[in-house]
């Protein structure tokens, strides 16, 4: 058997998707184990921040392709290996089902749900085993996905990332994260791509502020009349001032706050905000940064109020220069690793925190929340990469039935175990991806939902399609959306009802790249909540279990970010680093159970999504153990079990 396995390692072609934290460790492990035919793909380039854990890279490699450098470094361990590197997105149509069929095994080391969903579907279409993995700090997990035998990556509903109501962000922030989100929105409104959903000015439509603006508007003094964002956009006004930092400051932190104060009802049960005036602050404080008590790294210090005023001024001037260098109509993209952008968000968020009587945060803390990250641990990546190879060896030995989902915990449980294996579960009959005839029901207002929203928000973002074609089952075969450029663009701005789509209509959505077809039942409603475009009936969060509060250990496990719709493994996707995780304000804590793990059937637990940190219902069937704790022990609270 060993000889056969050695031969299999030499001849079997495997694909590694992602060459970041886990990917580097995995590639090294594969060549040292004896794998000879490896292909690796990653769209990302090497950043200085990668070097503390992605050990195939050195400082001289910064700016180069991760996949290419990882290949070159891995070949130094085993020069006889045949490694092919692709500096590209796995979602590129070139990597079709036929491309996937040439591999015996695919291993994911990805950083976003969109790419994970896509690889999951490609492996299902090609009927190739997939090993999925993720890390988050000291936590990690590995699982195996095989068509018809196990759950696929999308079998369990994954709630969308928590979003904050616009009126909370714009009018009544109560937590630092609200101010940080506001500051990121502000960056885009001033320097990046403007988005109507990311407005930062006071929300006069706030349902809680039942006031009469005609009567109270005169009570707000506006030192910059051009700052009336109801007449021109924030960016246009900023340009008209030449991005003057002082004018921007007074508009954002004085005039807008005074306008908020006129919304009397908002402040009857809340502490009212305190406006800031640049000239008064300048007269009060010296022009030096004023760190508060505490020493240590510069990033971990909290500056004084005037320190953040000066940081705001300096960052605006720097970003203004960057815009001017790019030329007319240029836009900047916010990146947590870009110092001026990070300075701007840090300063703006802290000034808003001060205004709303919150304790200000260090640059390090703001970056952690703004980038939705927790620190990556190199040893966790190493352990998870080792487990991936072990599961791969089982698959190549023809022992797929012995594969497990394995969870790496931060602390040993009462049975002295850090690694907890769980039996793989069969496919979900209701999965809208791997079921024999995938079908969903979507609740929308057909009179208000445009075809473009159906394509981008529902099919691409929610259901993970790359290039959907949509046909209305109306007896005529009406083509609503075509993946061929130029065929149906005229439909984009029309409403679904314009095509006769109503309550009970059925749409057939096909993605030929993914070899995937989804039937969509339309449920018309006019009762969706404000800012909610659609709901998937029966999907998360409706099915998700209620949050528990007894344990923090079993938490979100990920090898990357949340649901980025960016089709890549690249750091150009929002919050991109490939071994970081979403930290959401509604992040559900681990499940506590009073049942012993030895009861091998029915205890319901939460499974942390291997990338977003969000949880879904799982029913573990743990292997019986003679070392099982008593029924009242809570030692297996730190077990996350997959169903």
User: Which residue has better confidence, 272 or 608?
Assistant: 272
Give 367's Cβ-side CA count (13 Å radius). Answer: 19
Question: Tell me, what's the pLDDT at 346?
Answer: 96
Percentage of the chain modeled with pLDDT above 70: 75
197 belongs to an annotated ligand binding site: no
Distance CA 131, CA 392 (A): 8
Name the residue among 249, 251, 255, 317 with its Cα closest to residue 282: 249
pLDDT band at 91 (very low <50, low <70, confident <90, very high): very high
Question: Tell me, what's the pLDDT at 408?
Answer: 93
**The pLDDT of residue 454 is above 90:** yes
Measured between alpha carbons, how far is residue 70 from residues 45, 73, 75, 84 in Å? 11, 5, 9, 10
**The pLDDT of residue 229 is above 80:** no
Per the CB < 8 A criterion, the answer to whether 378 and 319 are in contact is no
pLDDT band at 257 (very low <50, low <70, confident <90, very high): very high
pLDDT band at 10 (very low <50, low <70, confident <90, very high): confident
- Average confidence (pLDDT) over 37-47: 91
Digit-coded pLDDT (tens) for 339-365: 999 999 999 999 999 999 999 999 988
DSSP assignment letter at 617: E
Determine which of 241-255, 307-321, 558-572 has the lowest per-residue pLDDT on average: 558-572
Q: Give buried/exposed letters for 42-63 (b at 16+ CB in 10 A, else e).
A: bbbbbbeebeebbbbbeeebee
User: Which residue has better confidence, 319 or 617?
Assistant: 319
Question: Tell me, what's the pLDDT at 143?
Answer: 95
Question: Tell me, what's the pLDDT at 551?
Answer: 37
**The pLDDT of residue 242 is above 60:** yes
19 belongs to an annotated ligand binding site: yes
50 belongs to an annotated ligand binding site: yes
Distance CA 423, CA 158 (A): 21
User: Which residue has better confidence, 285 or 162?
Assistant: 285
Q: What kind of fold does domain 166-216+231-371 have according to CATH?
A: Arc Repressor Mutant, subunit A (1.10.10)
**The pLDDT of residue 637 is above 60:** no
Name the residue among 294, 273, 34 with its Cα closest to residue 170: 273
**The pLDDT of residue 576 is above 80:** no
**The pLDDT of residue 192 is above 60:** yes
635 belongs to an annotated ligand binding site: no
Question: Tell me, what's the pLDDT at 154?
Answer: 92
The CA-based angle 390-393-394, given to 5 degrees, is 95
HEC per residue, 459-484: HHHHCCCCCCEEEECCCCCCEEECCC
Orientation of helix 363-370 relative to helix 339-355, angle to 10°: 100
Percentage of the chain modeled with pLDDT above 90: 50
- Average confidence (pLDDT) over 119-140: 93
User: Which residue has better confidence, 419 or 543?
Assistant: 419
7 belongs to an annotated ligand binding site: no
Per the CB < 8 A criterion, the answer to whether 87 and 64 are in contact is no
Question: Tell me, what's the pLDDT at 606?
Answer: 38
- Average confidence (pLDDT) over 619-629: 37
**The pLDDT of residue 258 is above 60:** yes
**The pLDDT of residue 629 is above 80:** no
Per the CB < 8 A criterion, the answer to whether 90 and 17 are in contact is yes
327 belongs to an annotated ligand binding site: no
- Average confidence (pLDDT) over 83-98: 94
Give the domain ranges of the chain: 3-160+375-423, 166-216+231-371, 439-537
- Average confidence (pLDDT) over 164-173: 83
Question: Tell me, what's the pLDDT at 208?
Answer: 60
Task: State the pTM of this model.
Answer: 0.66
- Residue 322, classed as helix, strand or coil, is helix
User: Which residue has better confidence, 551 or 378?
Assistant: 378
- Mean pLDDT across the chain: 79
Question: Tell me, what's the pLDDT at 160?
Answer: 60
pLDDT band at 157 (very low <50, low <70, confident <90, very high): confident
pLDDT band at 299 (very low <50, low <70, confident <90, very high): confident
**The pLDDT of residue 577 is above 90:** no
**The pLDDT of residue 136 is above 60:** yes
User: Which residue has better confidence, 74 or 638?
Assistant: 74
Question: Tell me, what's the pLDDT at 608?
Answer: 42
3-state helix, strand, coil in the chain (%, to 5): 35, 15, 50
Per the CB < 8 A criterion, the answer to whether 553 and 590 are in contact is yes
Burial class (CB in 10 A: 0-12, 13-18, 19+), 626: exposed
Concerning whether 179 is annotated as a catalytic residue, the answer is no
Question: Tell me, what's the pLDDT at 166?
Answer: 77
**The pLDDT of residue 635 is above 70:** no
**The pLDDT of residue 247 is above 50:** yes
Q: Please give the class, per CATH, of domain 3-160+375-423.
A: alpha beta
User: Which residue has better confidence, 334 or 99?
Assistant: 99
Question: Tell me, what's the pLDDT at 28?
Answer: 96
**The pLDDT of residue 571 is above 80:** no
pLDDT band at 434 (very low <50, low <70, confident <90, very high): very high
424 belongs to an annotated ligand binding site: no
Beta bridge partners of 469: 510
209 belongs to an annotated ligand binding site: no
Q: What kind of fold does domain 439-537 have according to CATH?
A: 3.10.290
113 belongs to an annotated ligand binding site: yes
Adjacency order of strands within the sheet including 479-481: 479-481, 469-472, 506-511, 516-524, 439-444, 534-536
Catalytic residue among 167, 179, 309, 422: 167
């Amino acid at each position: 058997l060993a000889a056969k396995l050695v031969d299999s390692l030499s001849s079997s072609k495997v694909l590694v998707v992602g060459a970041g934290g886990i990917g580097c460790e995995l590639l090294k492990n594969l060549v040292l184990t004896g794998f000879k035919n490896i292909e690796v793909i990653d769209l990302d380039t090497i950043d200085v921040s990668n070097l503390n854990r992605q050990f195939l890279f050195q400082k001289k490699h910064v700016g180069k392709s991760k996949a290419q450098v990882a290949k070159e470094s891995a070949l130094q361990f085993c020069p006889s290996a045949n490694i092919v590197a692709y500096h590209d997105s796995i979602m590129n149509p070139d990597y079709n089902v036929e491309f996937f069929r040439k591999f015996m095994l695919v291993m994911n080391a990805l950083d976003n749900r969109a790419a994970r969903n896509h690889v999951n579907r490609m492996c299902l279409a090609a009927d190739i085993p997939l090993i999925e993995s993720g890390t988050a700090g000291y936590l990690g997990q590995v699982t195996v996905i095989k068509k018809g035998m196990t759950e696929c990556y999308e079998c369990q509903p994954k709630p969308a990332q928590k979003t904050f109501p616009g009126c909370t962000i714009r009018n009544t922030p109560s937590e630092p994260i609200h101010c940080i989100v506001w500051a990121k929105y502000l960056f885009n409104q001033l320097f990046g791509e403007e988005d109507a959903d990311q407005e930062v000015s006071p929300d006069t439509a706030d349902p809680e502020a039942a006031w009469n603006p005609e009567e109270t508007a005169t009570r707000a003094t506006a030192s910059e009349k051009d700052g009336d964002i109801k007449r021109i956009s924030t960016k246009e006004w900023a340009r008209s001032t030449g991005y003057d930092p002082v004018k921007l400051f007074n508009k954002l932190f004085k005039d807008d706050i005074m306008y908020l104060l006129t919304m009397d009802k908002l402040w009857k049960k809340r502490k009212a905000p305190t406006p800031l005036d640049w000239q008064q602050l300048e007269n009060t404080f010296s022009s030096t940064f004023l760190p508060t008590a505490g020493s240590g790294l510069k990033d971990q210090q909290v500056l004084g109020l005037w320190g953040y005023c000066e940081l705001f001024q300096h960052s605006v001037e720097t970003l203004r220069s960057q815009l001017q260098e790019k030329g007319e109509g240029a836009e900047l993209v916010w990146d947590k690793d870009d110092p001026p952008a990070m300075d701007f968000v840090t300063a703006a968020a802290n000034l808003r925190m001060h205004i709303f009587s919150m304790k200000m945060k260090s640059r390090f803390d703001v970056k952690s929340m703004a980038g939705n990250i927790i620190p990556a641990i190199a040893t966790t990546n190493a352990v998870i990469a080792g487990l991936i190879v072990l599961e791969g060896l089982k698959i190549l030995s023809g022992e797929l039935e012995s594969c497990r989902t394995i969870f790496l915990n931060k602390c040993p449980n009462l049975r002295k175990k850090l690694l907890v294996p769980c039996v793989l579960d069969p496919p979900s009959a209701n999965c809208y991806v791997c079921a024999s005839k995938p079908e969903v029901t979507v609740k929308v207002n057909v009179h208000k939902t445009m075809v473009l929203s159906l394509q981008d928000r529902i099919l691409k973002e929610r259901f993970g399609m790359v290039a959907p074609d949509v046909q209305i089952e109306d007896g005529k075969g009406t083509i609503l959306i075509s993946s061929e450029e130029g065929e149906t663009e005229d439909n984009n701005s029309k409403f679904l009802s314009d095509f006769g789509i109503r309550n009970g209509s059925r749409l057939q959505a096909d993605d030929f790249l993914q070899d995937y077809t989804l039937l969509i039942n339309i449920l018309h409603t006019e009762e969706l909540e404000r800012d909610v475009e659609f709901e998937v009936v029966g999907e998360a969060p409706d099915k998700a279990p209620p949050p528990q509060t007894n344990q923090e250990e079993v938490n979100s496990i990920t090898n990357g970010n949340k649901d980025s719709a960016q089709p890549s493994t690249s750091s150009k996707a929002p919050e991109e680093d490939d071994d970081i995780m979403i930290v959401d304000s509604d992040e559900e804590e681990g499940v506590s159970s009073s049942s012993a793990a030895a009861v091998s059937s029915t205890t319901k637990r939460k499974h942390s999504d291997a990338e977003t940190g969000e949880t879904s219902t799982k029913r573990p069937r743990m292997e019986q153990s003679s070392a099982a704790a008593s029924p009242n022990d809570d030692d297996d609270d730190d077990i996350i079990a997959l169903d």
